[in-house]
Amino acid sequence: MCTACRSSNYCDVDCQKAHRKHHKYQCQQDAHAIREAMKDILLATKYHHKKEKNDDSDCDDDDDDELFQPIPPEDDCPICTLPLPIDECASIYMACCGNSICGGCFQENVRATRERGLDPCCAFCREPGPSSDEECVILLKKRMEMNDIFAINMASQWYRFGKHGLPEDPQMAFDLCLRAAKMGNSAAGSRAAMHYKDGKIVPTDMAMAADYLQKAVKKGNIIARHIIGADKWNKCNYRLGSRHWLLAAAAGCTDSLKQIATCYKLKLVTKKEYSVALASYGNVHKDEWSIERERRAAARK
């Protein structure tokens, strides 16, 4: 996929070079439109409701420009080259090669191999799939030994819910989550923040929670941004909360879009802010849609 306009798909690098001259003009137009849309959100939310600014200490975040940069697009699925789904559960981590592929490609690969009477294999590297929970754990641990942050984050989830024969161990899950977060995994950072907030596994530490949330936001995690928006809203800092939600909604967060709809009804965001966020939200989900992913989602219901 073209990383500038996010609207054209190519077979490979050679294909992109061959067709670049035909795509260049439209690419520049689309990329400019994307930049202008995000500029509208950033500028409008930065200066909107200035008169409502209160003396809360959270307002220090309002001047942190790094915290309010546009959220980068998701990585592409290496099979279909469409952006990976925003929903983390809709992607599959392959411990054999360390790639994450969308659930649609995973399901389609399973269907195709079964129809041909072949043994299950990875859709990317074609490595035979694990035949037992023990093999799954062995593959994941090999990736963890390579300091693969996605493998470490996945292991955290397995220990949290007791998957693939591993014991349900909340403390081990938290330790692995914290390790992945410190290595730069934004999803792990968001979860680590929630652990510090709820105090069920480790003592409650709101300062650590805020720190990990902000680090996750700066790495582009929209769930963390939605949570920060909710925190600001609950502390009556409506201007700052809506600003976080606008950016998260523009990046495809459904929960943030619902909150922005409420903010618009309460006249806390302008019509232009709401319309730009809504249009961007629609484009994000349009770009990541495929019939295979639709079938996968229907099968999971």
Question: How many domains is the chain built from?
Answer: 1
Residue 11 is assigned to a structural domain of this protein: no
What is the distance between the alpha carbons of residues 140 and 152, in angstroms, rounded to a whole number?
8
Please report the pLDDT score of residue 155 as a whole number. Answer: 97
Q: Which of 34-43, 103-112, 170-179 has the lowest mean pLDDT?
A: 34-43
pLDDT of residue 105 exceeding 70, the answer is: yes
Band (pLDDT 50/70/90 cuts) for residue 271 is very high
pLDDT of residue 62 exceeding 60, the answer is: no
| Average of per-residue pLDDT across 32-39 | 60
Residue-wise pLDDT for 222-232, tens only, equals: 999 999 999 99
Q: Regarding predicted confidence, which is higher, 66 or 3?
A: 66
Residue 65 is assigned to a structural domain of this protein: no
**Structural domain that includes position 249:** 236-301
Please report the pLDDT score of residue 176 as a whole number. Answer: 97
Residue 265 is assigned to a structural domain of this protein: yes
Q: Regarding predicted confidence, which is higher, 301 or 60?
A: 301
Residue 169 is assigned to a structural domain of this protein: no
Contact between 124 and 97 under an 8 Å Cβ cutoff? The reply is yes
Q: With 0-12 CB in 10 A as exposed, 13-18 as middle and 19+ as buried, what is 252?
A: buried
Residue-wise pLDDT for 134-183, tens only, equals: 999 999 999 999 999 999 999 999 999 999 999 999 999 999 999 999 99
How far is residue 277 from each of residues 228, 283, 285, measured CA to CA in Å? 18, 10, 12
**pTM (two decimals):** 0.78
Residue 103 is assigned to a structural domain of this protein: no
Residue 256 is assigned to a structural domain of this protein: yes
Please report the pLDDT score of residue 53 as a whole number. Answer: 46
Which of 77, 52, 72 has its CA nearest to residue 62?
A: 52
Please report the pLDDT score of residue 18 as a whole number. Answer: 73
Residue 278 is assigned to a structural domain of this protein: yes
Please report the pLDDT score of residue 45 as a whole number. Answer: 46
Residue 155 is assigned to a structural domain of this protein: no
